[in-house]
Amino acid sequence: MSHKEISKAVIKRLPRYYRYLGELKEAGVERISSADLSSLMKVTASQIRQDLNNFGGFGQQGYGYNVQYLRDEIAKILGLDHMHNMVIIGSGHLGQALANYTNFERNGFQVVGLFDNNKDLLGTVVNGIPIRMIDELPAFLAANEVEIAALTLPKDNAKKMVPVLLEGGIHAIWNFAHTDLNLIVPKDVAVQNVHLSESLMRLSYNLKTLQEDASPADQKEP
């Protein structure tokens, strides 16, 4: 690897910085110090400066950070400075919801194809995109420049799709299926999992724990 490895924790935080900088820009704020951003975002100023300095010096001593400039730089880092074409494999409710989610376009992600194996969906058009049958996918990928595949289908079907996607030149998988595709994919393919039920389980845990803490049942220390 030619550039130094950036930790996952840092990458996790970048989109949040990006979001706050967008809101500041909307609000007409031109510059901000790490201290001010820190009190807004409830993280330490030190962390903000450390995070940003992984990518170079975006600020200026005595001044702070220029909101517009910093936001643009983060956009470049995240690869939001150009369009990413995406296909959605699995056109059930969730797949269709994603296809309808036009906000993605603002951030540079464009849904160009919808696929399913259910013949009943043939002829259905979602947000201007016709649902195609899954066996058309290889030809579609060959004919179109597609970077990302979102997988919104049952886990066994998702696994079966992987070779087809790799064959079609896909290098990024946005995985909503309840399986760890990252374990069965070559290391040059990016996978982001969105495991909704796991998120819901964590919410359940936190709910339970907060309630136990609040209840006076077992307050005595050992």
Partner DNA sequence: TAGATTGTTAATCGATTAACAATC
Stretch near DNA under the rule CB under 7 A, chosen from 45-53, 96-104, 114-122, 148-156: 45-53
Q: How far is the CB of 160 from DNA (least distance, A)?
A: 30
Q: Is 71 among the residues that bind DNA (CB under 7 A)?
A: no
Closest CB to its own copies among residues 57, 62: 57
CA distances in angstroms from 94 to 53, 73, 140, 201, listed in the order given: 38, 32, 22, 19
**With contact defined as beta carbons under 8 Å apart, do 121 and 131 qualify?**
yes
The residue among 44 and 60 lying less far from its own copies, judged by its C-beta, is 44
Q: How far is the CB of 31 from DNA (least distance, A)?
A: 8
Q: State which of positions 99-138 bind DNA (CB under 7 A).
A: none
- Binding to its own copies (CB under 8 A): which residues in 123-142? none
Contact in structure between 178 and 155 (CB atoms under 8 Å): yes
Stretch that binds DNA, among 16-24, 43-51, 76-84, 86-94 (CB under 7 A): 43-51
82, 108 Cβ separation under 8 angstroms: yes
Stretch of 52-60, 80-88, 106-114, 117-125 contacting DNA, by CB under 7 A: 52-60
Q: Is 18 in the site for its own copies (CB under 8 A)?
A: yes
Residue 52 lies near DNA (rule: CB under 7 A)? yes
Of 48, 27, 29, 28, whose CA–CA distance to 37 is shortest? Answer: 48
Minimum CB separation of residue 81 from DNA in Å reads 20
Between 130 and 135, whose beta carbon lies closer to its own copies? 130
Indicate which single residue of 25, 47, 92, 140 sits in contact with DNA (rule: CB under 7 A): 47
CB within 8 A of 112, min separation 6: which ones?
A: 85, 86, 87, 129, 144, 146
Dihedral, 112, 118, 119, 122 alpha carbons, nearest 10 = -30
In the list DNA, its own copies, none, the entry touching 35 (Cβ below 5 to 8 angstroms by class) is: DNA
Which range, of 29-37, 58-66, 117-125, 177-185, touches its own copies by CB under 8 A?
Answer: 177-185
Distance CA 2, CA 59 (A): 25
Tokens standing for 203? 């919410």
CA separation for the pair 5, 22 (Å, rounded): 26
Task: Give the whole-angstrom CA distance, residue 32 versus residue 66.
Answer: 7
The owner of tokens 């001593």 is 61
Instruction: Write out the residues near DNA by the rule CB under 7 A.
Output: 7-10, 32-35, 43-47, 49-50, 52-53, 57-65
